[in-house]
Structure 1
């Protein structure tokens, strides 16, 4: 009976040490999860900001392309008008 009590006491001590060890690991993992969650939130915020910046830049590009197209059309009209004026002057 004493031998069984001694073995049970050893097992209890072993289990207590193992519990403490795993409890520390659990605490470590919980802290790591918290750090990674914070990093994820930061990365998501950064990604959202980048997406908004890209959308603004794409709009700016579209606006500039439209402006370039209009300017080219105006230049073409002006060039035609100048050509016609030159023809009219030459006919005089």
Structure 2
């Protein structure tokens, strides 16, 4: 009986170690993905600013061409 408990305890300990390893891997993956999301968000903001600048410049050019 005691040996059965010991075997079960070892099996549970192994399962716990495996679950902890999977959780650590998942956490690292989440961190990497969050960094990529942050980078893409920054890139999007920069591109929106460029678009706004170009759009404003086109508006000024159009106004100059039409005499308004």
TM range (shorter): over 0.9
User: TM-score, structure 2 length as denominator?
Assistant: 0.95
Q: Which of 49, 56, 65 lines up with 2:32 in the alignment?
A: 56
- Indicate whether 1:40 and 2:37 are aligned: no
- Hey, what's the Cα distance between the residues in 2 that align with 1:26 and 1:75? 72
Q: Which of 57, 61, 64 lines up with 1:85 in the alignment?
A: 61
In structure 1, runs of 5+ residues without a counterpart are 1-24
- Hey, what's the Cα distance between the residues in 1 that align with 2:41 and 2:53? 18
- Indicate whether 1:30 and 2:3 are aligned: no
User: TM-score, structure 1 length as denominator?
Assistant: 0.71
Aligned residues: 67
In structure 2, runs of 5+ residues without a counterpart are none
- Hey, what's the Cα distance between the residues in 2 that align with 1:28 and 1:90? 91
- When the two chains are superposed, the root-mean-square deviation of aligned CA atoms in Å is 0.6
Shift of 1:88: 1.2
Structure 1 runs, 4 residues or longer, greater than 6 Å off:
none
